[in-house]
A and B are shown apart, each in its own frame.
Chain A
Amino acid sequence: MATIDLTVPAKSPTMTEGTIVAWRVKAGDLVKSGQVVAEIQTDKAVVEWEALDGGTVAELLIPAGSIAYVNQVAAVLTSKPGESAAAAIAKARELNAQLAAAAKGGAPAPAPAAPATVVLTPAPMPTAASAPALHPQAAPAAAPQKQYRITPVAARFAAQHGLDLAKVRGTGPSGRITLRDVEEARRAGTALIGAAPAAGAPAKAKLKPFRADGAPSADQAMSAMRQVIAKRLAESKATIPHFTVTEAVDAGALAAIKDQCAAYDGVKVTVNDLVVRAAALALRIHPRLNATFHGTAVRQYDSADICVAVAIPDGLITPIVAKAHAKSVRQIGDEVRALAKKAAEGRLQPHEFQGGSFTVSNLGMFGVESFTAIINPPQVAILAVAGIKDEPVVRGGQVVAGKVLRLTLSADHRAVDGADAAAFLRTLRELLEAPAGLLV
């Protein structure tokens, strides 16, 4: 339905016209957002021109070798192949003629107001989303922000939740971004500024083009959830006398079990599932860590209700695997994944994340060596699970290639002592190094 005009960008602050040296696409080609479509000779250099929006090239209106005035429509794309773009092309030709006449000293240039079919506003400067960031010409001072077709309410929602509008698909008229679109993008977690794409190839590191003047960008209001996180964690770190104990686990058997389970009927077992199960069993042996602190009393629990820290679009939340000590690894895994999905969709019920007797926080997926976590009060301990690393280990007096998993326990010294923490970690290490016990 929609057509998209590719308007000639000002590739330098002083550029008013340029020459299209060469087109890199032709009519009928599919263009992706961010793809280089042409090379433009500016008053300073030959630069690449990247399309801000994708589509199928309906027609190239300015032939290679010709002068292109800023804001002229150089090409018209359609959102679907084979769509008619006749009306948009006619309109674009008219606009181009006016701009050319104005540039040659004729009539004043028409306001570059976008015709109804133009999805891009004629932003003359390259934008954060598409600028060849390292190109010297492409870092003009105070580049105007790209504008999007978006409803006022959706714009406020996106600002509050830190969404990158370039990654949000608009479903309103002519691709207008509506409240529903940004809500869905937030739920899916795909449009967070700086977020990795939801699926597919691992994210390539993208350089954020800093503003040349170095001035801070506008303050972003914190979401209500972020504010709660800020308050609770600051309180925890400031008032609880944390101490930490780290233990290295020989994780060869653990890694093997994961692969064996996957080979057996495709059962997906993660290191996290095994660690939660092991922690639950270790808590039965060391109940002082399965507790909450209440000023003058410590409350121990006869159930290992283990909170699992889950990252969600604007923060983190710790849904609870209740009675983890009575659940199999598979049950724990299924439950954690179901809770994480609900958390990402914002559908967790209060009873699913309030309470708990112990917390496991896992950054293993990032392959970190070790880290320490902040206690989730009123609980008295939290376990930080790092990644499994290939490292030399000593077995039978011999140094051999092995796998090591580092666990760091943060504990509240008001309720527990170093010996409790060390004993708990030793049990945990024994359970994880001989993991058959976790499966029965």
Chain B
Amino acid sequence: MPDFDVIVIGAGPGGYVAAIKAAQHGRKTAIVEKEALGGVCLNWGCIPTKALLKSAETLESFRHAAALGLHADNVRADFGAVVKRSRDVADGMSKGIAFLMKKNKVEVIRGTATFSGADSIVVTAGDGSARTLTAGHFIVASGGRPRQFPHLPVDGKRVFNAREAMCLPEQPKSLACIGAGAIGMEFGYFYQALGTQVHIVEVMDQVLPVEDHEAAKFVERAFLKLGAKVSTATKVEKLEVQADGVVLQLEKGGERSTITVDRVLVAVGMVANTEGLNLDAAQVALDERGFIKVDDNQRTSNPRVYAIGDVAGKQLLAHKASFEGEAAVGHIIGHPAPVDYRQIPGCTYCQPQVASIGLTEKKALAAGKKLKIGRFQFVASGKAKAVGHPEGFVKLIFDAEFDQLIGAHLVGYDATELLAELSLAMKLECTAQELMETVHAHPTLSEAVMEAAADALGVCVHQ
């Protein structure tokens, strides 16, 4: 008899969800974690950064309070208190996970897991003590970490990754964000709003390279308006830490320039956390990019071992990890439910927020589809005007053949909260017709979704 039916390695949003699901289906389950429960998402990613951004947004709204007829003088940020609140939120959430583990009778094992065979691991605790555990199935959910580049050496003090960026001892005067993905843009917004001079440097030709080009352009303009500098299609050739700052040598279209900043955030790509797991012993193979190779049901080359989340590649998103966790457990208990990667939403929480699901316009065209595109600008929304956030738009992309929703791109205030309707619409294979004919409460920002669907059919009412 193995010690457990299922052992999950890593307690991030993929691992802990998988563990709870396995336990709920009556499997004797353990979860191994070497750091805090909740993983990067809860402790060093999604959640604490949302806390930071709330402070930045609120400060911004104080700045524009006069437009609402309010006067707020001498408003200033207490950087230390902002960071402390963020840490408190994360710590509170981590305790919540511990409670969930207990409630679902998942045994939490503290330590570092290493495979010692195809069906066993050794867990080494902080005090050096080791125990061997066997299980019917393993789910590897060990996550990822920032990719390191020789020409962008990270020292954790003046040049750092996201983890350091969210608890700096003091606010930098200027900050370069290398990489304009979600991490670079969120920290860019946070620090710029707090008064740091931010310079975004992105090698691709738009910020938020995975997003629709219209959404990216809109956010770039908003950043410039906020006072940030943005350089797209720009490579960082060299990074030098000097006494009075960090010097970056940039190259754009053959032209070189240098900038000097106080601090540098490197947010360029992630790699899988596979070292130390001794995956060879478990006969678990990696793909050419170093992520664990899995099939549609998250199974690795060892049929006992599953991999989910960042360590299994594809989109590196917490909710994708959670759903892969459910898919892995589903396969273990005999109810396979593979993840549909065409329907993974993505959100960026700078202001204006960007939320999207499905194909961008360029990708849909590249796939040879004929499109119907509907747009609605929030400036035409009564609610958006009333709450003082008329910026942004909804852009919906439909396959012209059956008017099926295949992409949704939202930019604006609380855009990320508006996305769920479109995720559901996509899951239910809705057409523009159903979106347009669904009664949306007035006045809400969500009316923009209905109007954009109507626009795609050429029958928009309010623009």
**A residues apposed to B, CB below 8 Å:** 151-154, 156-157, 160, 178-179
Contacts and interface: CB of A to CB of B under 8 A. Distances in A.
Interface string B431-443: 1011000000000
Contacts of B403: 153, 156
B428 interface: yes
B423 interface: no
Contacts of A154: 429
B399 to A, nearest CB: 8
A160 B403 CA distance: 13
Contacts of B434: 152
A191 B430 CA distance: 23
Contacts of B428: 151-152
Contacts of B402: 153, 156-157, 160
7 contacts: A151-B428, A151-B429, A151-B430, A152-B430, A154-B429, A156-B402, A160-B402
B134 interface: no
A151 B404 CA distance: 10
Given A152-B433, A153-B429, A179-B429, 20 more contacts: A151-B428, A151-B429, A151-B430, A152-B428, A152-B429, A152-B430, A152-B431, A152-B434, A153-B402, A153-B403, A153-B404, A153-B430, A153-B431, A154-B429, A156-B402, A156-B403, A156-B431, A157-B402, A178-B429, A179-B404
B234 to A, nearest CB: 41
Which of A154, A156, A157, A179 has its CB near the most chain B CB atoms (within 10 A)?
A156
A120 to B, nearest CB: 20
Interface string B391-419: 00000000000111000000000000000
A156 B433 CA distance: 12
Interface of B: 402-404, 428-431, 433-434
Nearest to A177: B429
A154 B404 CA distance: 10
Shortest beta-carbon contacts, A-B, top 7: A151-B429, A153-B429, A156-B402, A153-B404, A152-B431, A153-B402, A179-B429
Which of B429, B430, B431 has its CB near the most chain A CB atoms (within 10 A)?
B429
Nearest to B429: A151
B407 to A, nearest CB: 14
Contacts of B430: 151-153
A276 B409 CA distance: 55
A151 B403 CA distance: 13
Nearest to A154: B429
Contacts of A151: 428-430
A179 B430 CA distance: 11
Which of A152, A156, A157 has its CB near the most chain B CB atoms (within 10 A)?
A152
Nearest to B434: A152
A402 B253 CA distance: 82
Contacts of A156: 402-403, 431
Contacts of A152: 428-431, 433-434
A40 to B, nearest CB: 36
A156 B434 CA distance: 13
Contacts of A157: 402
Contacts of B429: 151-154, 178-179
B422 to A, nearest CB: 14
A20 to B, nearest CB: 37
Nearest to A178: B429
A107 to B, nearest CB: 29
Nearest to A159: B402
B106 to A, nearest CB: 26
Nearest to B433: A152
Nearest to B406: A153
B159 to A, nearest CB: 48
Nearest to B335: A1
A160 B431 CA distance: 15
Contacts of A153: 402-404, 429-431
A206 B404 CA distance: 34
A152 B401 CA distance: 13
A151 B431 CA distance: 9
Contacts of A179: 404, 429
A178 B430 CA distance: 11
A152 B437 CA distance: 13
A46 B402 CA distance: 45
Nearest to A176: B428
A156 B400 CA distance: 12
A11 to B, nearest CB: 34
A342 to B, nearest CB: 19
Nearest to A180: B429
A156 B429 CA distance: 11
B337 to A, nearest CB: 10
B328 to A, nearest CB: 20
Contacts of A160: 402
A110 B196 CA distance: 64
Contacts of A178: 429
Nearest to A156: B402
A152 B398 CA distance: 13
A314 B461 CA distance: 38
Nearest to A150: B429
Nearest to A152: B431
A308 to B, nearest CB: 28
Nearest to B432: A152
A138 B428 CA distance: 35
